[in-house]
């Protein structure tokens, strides 16, 4: 079973930029109720979609005070719990960050480790790529970052 996820957050001053659970040096962070980790959010929606579940807003409502500032790695850990409950295994993730800046690939391995640990899969099964929007649209104007992801899940082989 395959799921797709997409997320976008605008830049905001005075916030750290968190992508894949890694704080990346940049002049702006991303605006959001949680840590606004656009990469983890897209991956979470892909995993949830592959299971036929509702999106992350169902499990972590944006207005819920308990979700304020939450690490998006906790959102991925919840996805892992749901996979276990459904007797499903996450086979792999493939994702793309879309941003003009900053450069994120120097942080790729750390992001893979964080995401893999949260989801319970080896880091080499977490694909992370990055591209620009060729200066077009809100991403091209450096107003925010977008992310896309796909996830493949299958029945757990031991169940």
Q: Is this model's pTM higher than 0.75 or not?
A: yes
Termini Cα distance of the chain:
17
Per-residue model confidence (pLDDT) at position 117: 98
pLDDT at residue 16 tops 90: yes
Rounded Cα distance, 140 and 99, in Å: 7
CATH architecture of structural domain 2-155: 2-Layer Sandwich (3.30)
Residue 47 has pLDDT above 70, yes or no: yes
Q: Which of 45, 22, 49, 44 is nearest to 35 (CA)?
A: 22
The H-or-E segment that residue 116 falls in is: helix 108-119
- Contact call for residues 42 and 147 (beta carbons, < 8 A): yes
Q: What is the pLDDT of residues 108-139, one digit of tens each?
A: 999 999 999 999 999 999 999 999 999 889 99
Predicted local confidence at residue 159, as pLDDT: 57
């Amino acid at each position: 079973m395959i799921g797709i996820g997409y997320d976008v957050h605008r830049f905001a001053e005075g916030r750290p930029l968190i992508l894949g659970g890694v704080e990346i040096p940049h002049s702006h962070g991303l605006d959001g109720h949680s840590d606004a980790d656009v990469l983890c959010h897209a991956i979470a929606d892909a995993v949830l979609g592959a299971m036929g579940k509702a999106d992350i807003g169902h499990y972590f409502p944006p207005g819920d005070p308990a979700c304020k500032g939450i690490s998006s790695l906790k959102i991925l850990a919840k996805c892992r719990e749901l996979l276990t409950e459904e007797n499903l295994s996450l086979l792999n993730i493939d994702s793309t960050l879309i941003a003009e800046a900053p450069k994120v690939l120097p942080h790729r391995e750390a992001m893979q480790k964080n995401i893999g640990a949260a989801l319970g899969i080896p880091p080499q099964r977490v694909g992370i790529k990055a591209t620009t929007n060729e200066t077009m649209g809100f991403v091209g104007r450096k107003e925010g970052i977008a992310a896309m992801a796909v996830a493949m899940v299958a029945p757990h082989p031991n169940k």
